[in-house]
Amino acid sequence: MSSQAYLRWSSTRADALDQMENAHSAVGGTRRGRRHATEQINHAYAVLLASQFQGFCRDLHTETAVFLSESLDPPSLRPIVRIEFTRDRKLDRGNANSGNLGEDFGRLGVSFWSEVKKLSPRNGARSDALDRLNAWRNAIAHQNFDPRKLASHPANQRGLRLGLVQVRIWRVDCGKLAWAFNRVMRDHIQTVTGKNPW
């Protein structure tokens, strides 16, 4: 079973990302301007991917906070604790980067990244890839392509251009992390409450 957040990631959020893939495929031919058009689509795709992944993470955090708070007695404590779990949440105003995720999910009582990394030795590299995606997202959104921030990124082997292959790699990484996050939070809720949340 999966959280509602993960089900949305795998359905409606995946559909939105697939539409961007389709838009990229629709831009064809060799006429002048094609390279610029596909580069703009790559940028849009990276921003959309970062935003959809952030939405998934925020949904999962909320779902976990609700489940944990609903297990409390007396019931009058539930809304108070739920509000505290989500107060000043980084995911509400910042990127879904490794630091913000660790801090937000850590408030729910889990050693988030250490648990995620236990599930796969590749999740450490995926965490780094997520930070690179967000660095590109910020560069695109703010139109500030600082070579010092982007030059060392694997996506930048051909200057400050972002290719479709790199965005697709990030999408796979986000998918693997989404599965891991879903699993970590399910296991955490089971440990804390003794109940299977999903």
**Residue 152 and residue 166 in contact, taking contact as beta carbons nearer than 8 Å:** no
**Residue 64 resides in a domain:** yes
* Per-residue confidence (pLDDT) for residue 146, from 0 to 100: 82
Give the chain's mean pLDDT: 90
**Residue 198 resides in a domain:** no
**Residue 90 and residue 104 in contact, taking contact as beta carbons nearer than 8 Å:** yes
**Residue 111 resides in a domain:** yes
**Residue 181 and residue 96 in contact, taking contact as beta carbons nearer than 8 Å:** no
Lowest mean pLDDT among 32-41, 70-79, 109-118: 32-41
Neighbours of 44 (CB within 10 A): 15
**Residue 46 resides in a domain:** yes
pLDDT above 70: percentage of residues in the chain: 90
**Residue 35 resides in a domain:** yes
**Residue 87 resides in a domain:** yes
pLDDT tier, 35 (very low <50, low <70, confident <90, very high otherwise): low
58: domain range? 4-193
* Cα–Cα distance measured from residue 81 to residue 69, given in angstroms and rounded to the nearest whole number: 6
Neighbours of 165 (CB within 10 A): 10
**Number of folded domains that form the chain:** 1
For residue 97, the SS3 value is coil
